[in-house]
Structures are given as structure tokens and as C-alpha cells.
Amino acid sequence: MENRSILISGAGIAGPALAYWLHRYGFHPTVVERAPAPRSGGHAVDIRGTAREVAARMGIVARVRAAGTGARGMAFVDGTGKRVAKMGTDVFGHSGGPVAELSIRRTDLARIIYDGTRAEVEYVFGDAVTAVEQDSDGVHVQFEHGEPRRFDLLVGADGVHSNVRQLVFGPEERYLRDLGSYMALYTAPTELAHDGWRLMYTVPAGNGRPGRTAALYPQLEAGTALTGFFVRSAPLPHARGDIDAQKRIVISAFEDDRWQVPAMLEAIWDAPDFYFDRTVQVEMDTWSRDRTVLLGDASYCASPMSGIGTSLALVGAYILAGELAAADGDHTRAYTGYQQKMRLFVDRAQEFARASGDGGLMPETPRQMWMRNQTIRTLRFLPKRFVPRGMEKVADTVELDEYRTPAHH
């Protein structure tokens, strides 16, 4: 088998999942990650549809359940905290709802996959790729701190603002589709007992201000919640590294709002894990160039609000590794097969995210918000066969091939 040594940039979900399968098929993956150690905290993600099968084949479902957020569903509240509409995880069957049955913090899922691979896979934390030179028989890679190294193949699994994509495919502006809003997430103390429900407080557009939603998500630690803010807005001038400016954007969008918002905003200055970004999609005609290939958000982010990014990452990792094994390491054949098998899933996920992503969270009018609440209220009374299965159908797009572990491994 050719092309055995493979560098993976990024130790989120996609990178370690790919390393798991590559090692199983007899390759030698190395994972480099800019963060000094596996991250902790952060937001919950859902494992849906075909990705549940991938998790089962990796043998991690029991650990995912044990570390689950215990989320029971999503409830919309008014300014006094009264729940005006709610959807339990049971409304859509297994994985079609806004909160899937397998819900876990992103960092906990990454840690589970990392723990299952670190004995066999080389991980390099606190470093990043700075230069890439590809030739006919390998990839010469330079690092911020470590010595230059040579690998057979390179995988960029380093997120929306992928460093590898920038180096090999060019400036990110070419590939980002702006979805017209900002989101912010951070952990904050709360006295609210949210009993496993993701709570959402929505204010429709009006008085010269855009539609917006403030959210509290259950955390495993009592007295804490993950705070979320979603607001429709044109891009506002600020330096990407200017955290204080980002926090001021959130505060000015939500100041004077009711419910738990004042306490949530007060906690923003001390937040240990503040995350802020535009909601974007990554759109690319091709995910590979020569010996380099992209995976997960780096190549096909559907949007952080789509609820399907983790599933895309897990399924993509399974297919990419499997295609490399099936092609005996012939990257040209493998990359083509990977793209053919993932493309429909990616297109459907991105289309679904654009069509349904933010209307419910950033309504343009009070009527739009009222319609949302009415729709949610009626769902639980409908027979299952009449409940819209949009997300579930998207998540089930791919049928997994059985890739055989090479006999010589």
C-alpha cells in the first residue's frame, strides 16, 4: 500500500475520527493541533442519521451516552420566562429534531475519540502548519515550532478558517458564503433550573433592531449554562482577534432585552471560553488539490447553526479513510471517491441550513415568530408520519460502504 504517512491538521472531531480509521486500515497518521491540549467546555453537538452508525462502528456510543448533555429538547420562552412552545427529543423520532438523542459537548466527543486513538496515533499539540510544498511523491511541511517534516499526504481538518485551505487553495474569501448573522457562545453561571431543556428567548425585528435570540443550554455542571446569542446583522468592522470589540457587538445587540439577558451579558466579560463568529458556509467545487485534501468544516461547513456539522465530519472521516484503504493508498482515486460519496450529503445539508437555519431564531416580524410557535405547538399532536422529517432525511443521505481492513494489517 502506498502513501502510508498522513499528516492531519486539526484535533477537533474530524481529525481524530479520520486518524482512528486510518490507523485501523494500516496507515500512519500524525495529528497536529494549534491548541496546547485537547479543549474543554464549549457547545453541545448532535450525532444524527448515518453518523450514529459511524459512532457505533467506532465503538463509542456507550461513552457518548454516558457523557451526554441530558438535553430533553428545546423550549421557547417569553420575556417573563414562561415557556410558550417546546419540542422534546421524541417529537421527530431518533435524530430529526433540533436536539438529537445523541447530544454531547463537542469537546467531550473530541476527547472520547482522542482517548481511543492516542496510544497508536502521534499527536502534536501546540503547533501549526505554516508552509506546504507538494511534489510528485510527497508533501514537505513546515511548522510554527517543530522541525520541517515530509509526509505522503496532507489533510486539512482545521475548521472554517482552515490554515491548510488558505495555504493550498488560496484566500478564504473565495470559499465562504456569508449567511448574514453573528453568533456568540460562552459558559456563564446561572441560577435558572433548566431541567435539561435548551431555552430560547426570541425578540422579533422592530424599532430599528434586527430579529435576535438569546439561549441557555444545559451543562453537566450545576449552576452553569452555555450562553448563546444569535443576531441578524451586516458585517461590523472589528479585528478578528479583538475579543473586547466582539463582546461589545453582542452587548449592543441585546442590551435592554428581558428574561435572563441582563445576567447573561454581565457574565460576558469573565467568560473563559468566549466564541464569536459570522455564520458562514464553506463552498468548494473540489476538496482536494494534488496530495492535499480537506475534511469537515474546512471543506463543507454547513453553518454552526445547522445542527449537522458533527455528522458531516464523522461520515466524511469514515468515507475518506475507507476510500484510501480501498484504493491501496492511491490518493487520486481515493479523493475522487470521497468527493463523489459525500457531495449529495453536503449539498443537502447546506441547502437545509440555508432554508431553515435562522428564520426561527431571527424572525423579521412578530407574525413570523407567532407562526413558529404555533407550528411547534402542533407538532406533538400529529401522528409521527405527518411530522416533517427534513433534518432526519438529510442526515440519512449516505449509505455506508463496508470497507475491509487490509489483510496485512
Contacts of 217 (CB under 8 A, 6+ apart): 43, 44, 69, 71, 198, 199, 225, 226, 228
Q: Could you tell me the pLDDT band of residue 162, with boundaries at 50, 70 and 90? A: very high
Q: Where are the beta strands (DSSP E) in 78-211?
A: 83-88, 102-105, 122-125, 129-135, 138-143, 149-151, 153-156, 176-189, 197-203
Number of domains within the chain? 1
Beta bridge partners of 224: 189
**Amino acid present at 198:** R
| Closest CA relative to residue 116, chosen from 157, 65, 32, 55 | 55
DSSP character for 144? S
**Predicted local confidence at residue 371, as pLDDT:** 86
Torsion angle, alpha carbons of 128, 134, 138, 143, to 10: -20
**Under 8 Å between Cβ of 79 and 201:** yes
Q: What percent of the chain has pLDDT over 70?
A: 91
**Is residue 253 domain-resident?**
no
Q: Identify the domain containing residue 129 by its residue range.
A: 5-70+104-175+281-358
Q: What does residue 295 show for φ and ψ, rounded to 5 degrees? A: -140, 145
Three-state secondary-structure class, residue 215: strand
Query: Above 50 in pLDDT, residue 405?
Result: yes
Query: Above 70 in pLDDT, residue 132?
Result: yes
Q: What are the tens digits of pLDDT across the range 305-319?
A: 788 999 999 999 999
Q: What are the tens digits of pLDDT across the range 343-368?
A: 999 999 999 888 765 556 788 888 88
| Closest CA relative to residue 86, chosen from 184, 192, 195, 182 | 195
**Is residue 83 domain-resident?**
no
**Predicted local confidence at residue 220, as pLDDT:** 72
Query: Above 70 in pLDDT, residue 218?
Result: yes
Q: What are the tens digits of pLDDT across the range 76-114?
A: 999 999 999 988 766 544 444 445 567 888 999 999 999
Torsion angle, alpha carbons of 197, 215, 176, 336, to 10: -10
**Average model confidence (pLDDT) across the chain:** 89
Number of neighbouring beta carbons within 10 Å of residue 370: 14
**Is residue 372 domain-resident?**
no
**Predicted local confidence at residue 357, as pLDDT:** 55
Residue in this structure with the C-alpha cell 504517512, named with its chain if needed:
5
Query: Above 50 in pLDDT, residue 176?
Result: yes
Query: Above 80 in pLDDT, residue 381?
Result: no
**Measured between alpha carbons, how far is 97 from 87 in angstroms, rounded to an integer?**
8
Average pLDDT over residues 136-154: 97
**Is residue 370 domain-resident?**
no
Q: What percent of the chain has pLDDT over 90?
A: 65
**Predicted local confidence at residue 307, as pLDDT:** 82
**Predicted local confidence at residue 343, as pLDDT:** 98
Query: Above 50 in pLDDT, residue 386?
Result: no
**Predicted local confidence at residue 137, as pLDDT:** 93
**Is residue 368 domain-resident?**
no
Average pLDDT over residues 20-35: 97
* CATH code where residue 60 lies: 3.50.50.60
Q: Could you tell me the pLDDT band of residue 409, with boundaries at 50, 70 and 90? A: very low
Query: Above 70 in pLDDT, residue 255?
Result: yes
Mark 94-105 as b/e (b = at least 16 C-beta within 10 Å).
bbbbbbbbbbbb
Copy the grid coordinates of residue 131. Answer: 508552509
| Closest CA relative to residue 311, chosen from 324, 300, 321 | 300
**Is residue 36 domain-resident?**
yes
Q: Which of 21-30, 61-70, 282-291 has the lowest mean pLDDT?
A: 61-70
**Could you tell me how far CA 17 lies from the centroid of its own chain?**
14
**Measured between alpha carbons, how far is 295 from 136 in angstroms, rounded to an integer?**
22
**Predicted local confidence at residue 194, as pLDDT:** 67
Residue in this structure with the C-alpha cell 433548566, named with its chain if needed:
194
**Is residue 152 domain-resident?**
yes
Q: What are the tens digits of pLDDT across the range 189-215?
A: 988 876 888 899 999 988 889 989 999
**Predicted local confidence at residue 372, as pLDDT:** 83
Query: Above 60 in pLDDT, residue 380?
Result: yes
**Is residue 317 domain-resident?**
yes
**Predicted local confidence at residue 251, as pLDDT:** 96
